A and B are shown apart, each in its own frame.
Chain A
Amino acid sequence: MNQKYQIHPVLKVIFTFSLVILLSFSHNFAFVMTILVYTLFSLSLMKGNQILAILKISLWVSLFTFIILLPSNKYSSVMITVKVFTTVTTINMLPHSTKWSSITGAFKFFNIPDIFILVLDIAIKYIVMLGNHALQLIWALKLRSIGKNRDKYQSLSGIAGNLFIKSVEMSKEMYSAMECRGFNGKYITLEKKRLSMVDLLYMLIHIGIVILFFYIGKIVE
């Protein structure tokens, strides 16, 4: 098994979401900076190409947030930008370090309804393909728009309609493909796996983060 799948997926899902919630509730800059340092340290343990892919998205989103928040006061703009960067990086690290089947398995562990997991699953799996399809439709429109095309907006609404129909067809066909491979609408739970020393260390670090959140909150009060 690849090293990147060492930590138990259930623990990863629990602590990734708890980290995001704590970050969004925190008003303390020291806590936010601590999480940022921890996130960057965790990121540095990943492969080079994964680090680049994650940072590319995080930096773009943070830059955009910072520009939008520039007119507000300096403290808020820096605080929110750091929070956004840390949240996006943390969330992005999850799929890069955990198989999608393990993530859905972890959802199942929390008794999340199958229909919710299925909708999320299909939406995530098809977002790239729908994007590609939309791009091709826009290219086709561009190639046929010789000179000035006054009806461009009308055509764009046609593209949106076409995309919607296509997405329905594709999701139906994909569900059929899943059925053909034995899927019956019920997600399977993960194989029972014993917690390793790495898992325990990971748990301890994250419990420490939770304690730190409340401790710092108390100091501020």
Chain B
Amino acid sequence: MIEINDVSYSYLGIRALSHISIKIEAGEAVAIMGPNGSGKSTLLKLINGLIFPDTGCYRFQGQEITENQLQDPIFAKKFHQKIGFVFQNSDTQLFCADVYDEIAFGPRQMGLSESEIGKRVNDLLELMQLDAFHHRSPYHLSGGEKRKVAIACVLSMNPEVLVLDEPINELDPRTQRWLVDFLIRLNKSGKTLITSTHNLELVPEISTRSILFDENHGILADMQTQKMLLNTDLLIKANLVDEYYHIHDGEDHVHFHDHIF
């Protein structure tokens, strides 16, 4: 479904992706992990057709995605309808006057009738437990509610692939749990999930496969999530676990802490 072949990308002369090759099949749940600034968010933007490779090529469902291709409004609409992107910062994703308009934005761009849009929006408001926020301004919602609205906005277009950039960040534990359960259900219903995260505890729940970036903006490992999380050397190399100084039974000592399982 998604095929990235030897892609490199630089932003203002700074390397962000270096010779990346990834293949993702429909229905997979993939986690993108790596240290800060390793290129995770850049990769997600590339998958969503917001930036284009300097070298290499990106194919979606067999079709190469280029700037020229996305200049065609019909192709662009079809492509963006198939891939939904939940941004790291919900504030930038929420730009309409109220929650209803926010969720209806995508379907309106797809040219659906107002009655069909109304049905989709109301179903999603119910599914995401947002019924009470129908006419509320997104700016006045809490962080968790904003994230729910951001996901609802994307789901209103019924995409085949859902790309999420650090979706669990800044959420309280209960909302984190709700979101993880929701993502598991989405994946079980057949949606392809691509999630970038630092949260090692939740990775095995939201993914079966993990792609690990290194500080040189390349791929350090691409393997089953369970296997990757047991490979402490790999996680240390990617800055995902660190030496941890603490006291056990009155004795202070230092060791690597991942607290994964």
Contacts and interface: CB of A to CB of B under 8 A. Distances in A.
Helix, strand, loop or mixed for chain B's interface?
helix
B225 interface: no
Contact of A177 (B49, B92, B135, B139): B92
B109 A181 contact: yes
Interface stretch (B73-81, B124-132, B236-244): B73-81
B231 interface: no
Given A125-B96, A177-B87, A177-B95, A101 B101 contact: yes
Given A99-B97, A177-B95, A184 B76 contact: yes
Contacts of B76: 179, 182, 184
A100 B92 contact: no
B45 A101 contact: no
Contacts of A1: 118
A1 to B, nearest CB: 8
Interface in A177-213: 177-184, 186, 188, 191
Given A101-B104, A191-B114, A182 B77 contact: yes
B109 A188 contact: yes
A100 B81 CA distance: 23
Interface string B74-115: 001100110111010101110111100100111011110110
Contacts of A184: 73, 76-77, 109
A174 interface: yes
Helix, strand, loop or mixed for chain A's interface?
helix
B96 A180 contact: no
B50 interface: yes
Interface residues of A, number: 26
B164 interface: no
Q: Name the residue in A129, A177, A180, A183 with the highest tally of chain B Cβ atoms < 10 Å from its Cβ.
A: A180
Interface string B138-177: 0100000000000001100100000000000000000000
Contact of B139 (A129, A176, A179, A182): A129
Contacts of B42: none
Contact of B113 (A100, A188, A191): A191
Contacts of B91: 129, 170
A182 B110 contact: yes
Interface in B224-260: none
Complex A-B, nearest 6 residue pairs according to Cβ-Cβ distance, in ascending order: A182-B109, A181-B106, A173-B92, A100-B97, A125-B95, A177-B93
22 contacts: A95-B97, A99-B98, A99-B101, A100-B97, A101-B105, A125-B96, A173-B89, A177-B85, A177-B87, A177-B92, A179-B49, A179-B80, A180-B48, A180-B50, A180-B85, A180-B154, A181-B80, A181-B153, A182-B76, A182-B80, A183-B105, A188-B108
